[in-house]
Amino acid sequence: MTVLEQMGVNAKAAARTLLTAGELKNKALLAIADALVENAGEIIAANELDLTAARENGTRAALIDRLTLTQARIEGMAEGVRQVAALPDPVGKVLDGSVRPNGLKIEKVRVPLGVIAIIYEARPNVTSDAAALCLKSGNAVILRGGKEAINSNKCIADIMRAAVEKAGLPKDCIALVEDTSRASSVELMQLTDYVDVLIPRGGAGLIKSVVENSKVPVIETGAGNCHVYVDKTADIDMAVSIINNAKTSRPSVCNAIETILVHKDIAEKALPAIKAKLDEKDVTLRCCERSAAILDGVESACEDDWYTEYGDYILAVKVVDSIDEAIAHIAKYSTGHSEAIVTESYKAAQKFTDEVDSAAVYVNASTRFTDGGEFGLGAEIGIATQKLHARGPMGLNELTSMKFIIRGDGQIR
């Protein structure tokens, strides 16, 4: 039996204990939060090893920043765990129920998924964040973080495992894969006997690789090629404000926009106003022929631009003849994350929300709101861009399954 298989066996056994752990889960979460703060010095020392290696490898500053843990950041991680503890327990909720004509009482109840594996990159805060969400929803978790954060992750995982055990649950509710080679990631994707669901968290490359190679069912998260469509009836000031916010408030995140589609009847007025605002943040515009004819000092867009998630201060711009053309463009190029229409027309708003098939469809608001916290889900493990099981921001409910419980008094069929 390989190290990972043994980890799978242990996680599955721990998951059975978690089925009926009830309030012990919260006790364990609070113990984790306390232990993270108490052992902050140890975590910072381990993190220093990762930071030294990163600096020696010439890692760029943005990545080093994500990797860095400070006293304040560790307290933030602990606070995040406490917030998860304070959320209502999703397990056991009766989702539906009926009494059948033969007297069978049928209930559909929420249960944990079982064992969840998370493959992620170099953000050590994900280690406590993901573990807390999985534990709260009654799942054992196998964490497989990036090699850049391995010393930090090992230290955090050890602290969490000890805290879970002290609270009276099996320490194998949380496990960390210490082998950060590609092989361990590949093996995890084949562990169908032990792992119920695999959730990749990270960049597009990581997610694509997991989706294509995993035999374990995957919840796909993250990629966001999002659009704002400026309808011919749009309030131009509102369009400018929404586009500016959706592009420039945080360009690197998945709910930022990458392309705007502007109705031809409003393009001559709207485009210069939009450009003037975006110029304040030096946003590069990649324009179709018709928008380039209206604007000065812009680049030309090619077919690839419509597909690209820039994650940067770049925005593709296209003039469209109709709302139908806008919807068709989104259907073709979007990753199905978040799209918005800016319009004063009731009919256009209805049409857009009916016909655009993305996880979040907005009327007159910024796509930047696609987020578990903003949607009131309390916490978020990621944003699903697929259609099975979960779509959009995933909270604790999305980390659960359900089962039917049927109570009878001897019924046969």
Which residues are near its own copies by CB under 8 A? 16, 19-20, 98, 100, 104, 106, 111, 113-114, 196-197, 211-212, 215, 217-219, 235, 238, 241-242, 244-246, 249, 331, 349, 353-355, 357-366, 368-370, 374-376, 386-389, 391-392, 401-413
Query: Is 202 within 8 Å of 285 (Cβ atoms)?
Result: no
C-alpha span between 313 and 332 (Å, rounded)? 23
Among residues 35 and 219, whose Cβ is nearest to its own copies?
219
Residue among 53 and 109 whose Cβ is closer to its own copies: 109
Residue 162 CB, shortest distance to its own copies, in Å, is 27
| Dist CA 17 CA 173 (whole Å) | 9
Residue 248, phi-psi category: left (phi > 0), alpha (psi -120 to 50), beta (remainder): alpha
Rounded Cα gap, residues 32 and 129, in angstroms = 11
Between 61 and 412, CB nearer to its own copies: 412
Q: Which is nearer to its own copies, 60 or 413 (CB)?
A: 413
Cβ nearer to its own copies, comparing 6 with 181: 6
Q: Which 8-state DSSP code applies to residue 266? A: H
Nearer to its own copies, 79 or 354 (CB): 354
Cα–Cα nearest to 222, from 353, 137, 126, 139: 126
Q: How far is CA 266 from CA 45, 168, 288, 367, in A?
A: 58, 64, 15, 21
Rounded Cα distance between 164 and 64, Å, is 30
**Least distance from C-beta 163 to its own copies, angstroms?**
25
- Minimum Å gap between C-beta 159 and its own copies is 29
B/e letters for 262-276, b = 16+ CB within 10 Å, e = fewer, are: bbeebbeebbeebbe
| CA Rg value for the chain | 24
Of 38 and 404, the one with the shorter C-beta distance to its own copies is 404
The torsion defined by the Cα of 279, 312, 334 and 224, in degrees rounded to 10, comes to: -130
CB of 149 to its own copies, least distance (A): 28
Helix, strand or coil for residue 382?
Answer: strand
Nearest distance in Å: CB 100, its own copies: 6
Residue placing its CB nearer to its own copies in the complex, 127 or 248: 248
- Give every CB contact of residue 412 below 8 A, 6+ residues apart in sequence: none
Least distance from its own copies to the Cβ atom of residue 189, Å: 12
* Polymer length in residues for the chain: 413
Helix H, strand E, coil C: the string for 176-198 is ECCCCCHHHHHHHHCCCCCCCEE
Nearer to its own copies, 238 or 273 (CB): 238
Query: Least CB distance from residue 336 to its own copies, whole Å?
Result: 9
Angle among Cα 13, 19, 24 to the nearest 5 degrees reads 100
CB of 228 to its own copies, least distance (A): 11
Single-letter residue type at 270? A
Q: Give the shortest CB-49-to-its own copies separation in angstroms.
A: 36
